[in-house]
Amino acid sequence: MNSSLRVSGLARFLRLIRFSHTVFALPFALGALLVATRGRPSLPLLGLVLLCMVFARTAAMLFNRLADWTLDQRNPRTAMRHRLISRPVAVLLMILNSAAFVATAAAINRATFLLSPLALAIIFFYSLTKRFTAASHFFLGLALAVAPAGAWIAATGRLDLAPLLLGAGVIAWVAGFDLIYATQDLEFDRREGLRSLVVRLGIARSLRLAQLLHLAMFAALLAFGFEASLGAIYFAGMALVAGALFFEHRSASRLDLAGINRAFFQSNAFVSAVFLGSVWAAL
């Protein structure tokens, strides 16, 4: 009985922090790590980078749930979230994961340790942006772009052009698919006075902007491939990425909830997985 309760509690917690969405940022972090080490990261470094990803993302998602606690209760799409965990437990877990992230970053190198508070500030700040700027989608992109930049610094102790190009691509990619996802909350955001580009531009123009952002993302991935001296296999993989993005926008144009969720998760998980596979195969 106790075992089943623990499993049930873990499942609820993973659902609360949307653990399945880790497949979005993690492949870009691992791709950056592979390129920075030319395909040969040490097992300790790989383990530490993975731990940093888990701790930072868990802390950020818990902060997001705390920041949006009352909003989530009023939004029909998210009304059940606050029942998955209590506020005191969420605060405690956020603090513990933040501390674990800093400690793990300190075990990598001096640069990652010194930059770890800034990384947390960036990924936490996104949760507040919808209250004062319509550009919140880009702040979400910036939060996820911290992952490949951090992985590169973990491997090299510095930041070069290649991870900056990859980070720019991640920002454009995430902002684009978050615009698609935000169409679900248009009426709620208007009613609550929250800011987003969907509220400002409307659905049709937001979807067109998402298309342009994903074109920019595709261009950034190509530029990253050239800067990192990746071969033909990588660029062949980018054709699959283009196909997945096309499918995503075709699904989103139908504007039904199932289509939007499919575009958000399946297509973007495929994009990130193909990116990582293409980098690995090219090295």
CATH number at residue 249: 1.10.357.140
pLDDT tens figures, 53-81: 999 999 998 998 888 877 766 776 666 66
3 within a domain of the structure (yes/no): no
Q: Supply angle C-alpha 159, 163, 173, rounded to 5.
A: 140
- Maximum average pLDDT range among 117-126, 175-184, 196-205, 245-254: 117-126
Report the predicted TM-score, pTM, of the whole model to 2 decimal places.
0.87
| Cβ atoms 238, 225 nearer than 8 A | yes
Whether residue 9 has pLDDT greater than 60: no
Cβ neighbours of residue 242 closer than 8 Å, sequence gap 6 or more: 218
- Tell me, yes or no, whether 26 lies in a domain: yes
8 located within any domain: no
Q: What is the mean pLDDT of residues 168-172?
A: 97
> Range of 180's domain?
21-282
Helices 87-106 and 110-129 meet at what angle, rounded to 10? 150
Q: With respect to residue 2, please indicate whether it lies within any of the assigned structural domains.
A: no
> 3-28 as b/e, with b when 16 or more CB fall inside 10 Å?
eeeeeeeeeebeebbebebbbbbbbb
> Is residue 14 included in any domain, yes or no?
no
Model confidence at 140: pLDDT above 80: yes
In a domain, 11, yes or no: no
pLDDT of residue 273 exceeding 70: yes
What's the number of domains the chain is made of? 1
Is 6 among the domain residues? no
Specify if 181 maps to a domain.
yes
Question: What three-state secondary structure class fits 109?
Answer: coil
Contact 131, 195 (CB under 8 A): yes
- What is residue 228's predicted lDDT score, i.e. its pLDDT? 96
